[in-house]
Amino acid sequence: MSFDSIKEQTNEIQHLMCSFLKEHTAYDVLPVSYRLIVFDTRLLVKKALNVLVQNGIVSAPLWSSESQKFSGMLTVSDFINLIQYYYTHSSVEEALKEIESFELAHLRNVEKSVGAPAPQLVSMNPMSTLYDACKLLAESRVHRVPLLDKEPGTGAETIVSVITQYRILKFIASNVRFEFFIIIFLLRDYY
């Protein structure tokens, strides 16, 4: 098999995958039934961590009840920044005392204090294509994107779910014909 024919087949596979991703929406990836945990920014960090651990999840969307808007994602990085902050700014006793009343809203101040870059505030509409979701995930270098539905008249936001790289890959694996993956598998030996 010549290099040109391999390249041609690779381009064809890429075109087919792009077409597949453009034909499906982020909403299509969501399970029929799911539970979404959303934290208010006034919630204590200690309680949020407890809920994450109890539910076996590593992140959750943040909601500001003051502005009635999505305000970011709580992720493992936030807890790492918090540990760094208390390690350099206070004693163990002070840290244990402060953490009892530390709200999620103050995590952005901690980021600034430890010199961590502020996370990008990315989101998308659930009816956006999977192609757009993949593009946003790749360009913003995030692992998950909240799906926000906005009320046309009022602009009020509703957090519908969170789309992840894993969910997209699982959807592709479940919905793309098996023969497609055999072709990819065979082609990988030529590179």
3-state secondary structure of 80: helix
* Buried residues in 75-106 as b, exposed as e (16+ CB within 10 A): beebbebbebbbeeeeeeeebeeeeeebebbe
| pLDDT of 183 above 70 | no
Average pLDDT for 55-64: 95
Residue 44 or 92, more confident: 44
Residue 116 or 62, more confident: 62
Location of structure tokens 């200690």? 46
pLDDT in tens, 82-105: 989 888 877 878 878 888 889 999
| Amino acid making up residue 53 | V
CATH number of 3-188: 3.10.580.10
**Residue 182 pLDDT level (bands cut at 50, 70, 90):** low
Q: Where are the domains of the chain?
A: 3-188
